[in-house]
Amino acid sequence: MVVIRKIEDNEEIETAANILAEAFYDDPLFKMVFPKNSRHQKAVHFFSFLLKSNTILKDGVFSASINTEIAGVCSLSYPKKDDKLFFNFSFLFDTCKLMFQIGFTAFFTLNNYFKLIRKTKITNIYYLNFIGVSTKYRGQGVAKHLVEYIHRIVESDNAHSEIRLDTENSNNVAYYQKLGYQVIDQVKFNDITIYCFRKFL
């Protein structure tokens, strides 16, 4: 049985960051910015930073557990408000820390990537930021459970019915299309193609 719940404490965030680093190890963006011999550890630092930032913004960070073990993770941005991150001391400290952990070149490359992605985002919709499943639990429907849970959140909102996501992994395109998402744009970032999707619920 898969149990979905919100991630809130730091220990769970570190577990989730490790799962995401594992899931995104062969992602084109991560292969571009992180050397192979340190990719996993740098990705752990990066996802730990993102997950903590998501909790500051009060985004939905959810885990899917099997037998009390976290098997998958996803992050959902809600239709909202102006971001308050730049006025948060903890965020500023963690940003400086991340620069040293992953290296300045990787940090600024990823920053440019997110600047590009932000241009495709609309603030009054839901946005699936990322989703990842531990290799141990792949093929057991964990990602599907997470996506269906996210869809139920969107469906319960009478004011907003649209959800978007993006991926630079071409292997994910058919999967999201099978779930009813439509490709609405393709954006180039260096040699990487970013596929932008949306779905109405």
Domain that residue 118 falls in: 2-142
CB 77 within 8 Å of CB 170: no
Residues 6+ apart with CB under 8 A from 128: 74, 75, 76, 147, 150, 163, 164, 165
- In a domain? residue 163: no
Residue 171 lies in a domain: no
Within a domain: residue 100? yes
pLDDT tens digits for 154-175? 999 988 889 999 999 999 999 9
Instruction: Identify the burial level of 75 via C-beta atoms within 10 angstroms of its C-beta, where 0-12 means exposed, 13-18 middle and 19 or more buried.
Output: buried
pLDDT digits (tens, 9 = 90+) for 51-97: 998 887 788 999 999 999 999 999 999 987 555 555 577 788 899 99
Q: Tell me the CATH number at 107.
A: 3.40.630.30
Residue 115's pLDDT is 87
Could you tell me if residue 147 is inside a domain?
A: no
**What's the pLDDT tens digit per position in 113-150?**
988 887 666 668 899 999 999 999 999 999 999 999 99
pLDDT given for residue 142 in this prediction: 96
Residue 137 lies in a domain: yes
User: Is residue 191 one of the residues assigned to a domain?
Assistant: no
Q: Is residue 45 part of a domain?
A: yes
CA–CA gap between residue 194 and residue 36 (Å, rounded): 22
In total, how many domains does the chain have? 1
| pLDDT score, position 159 | 86
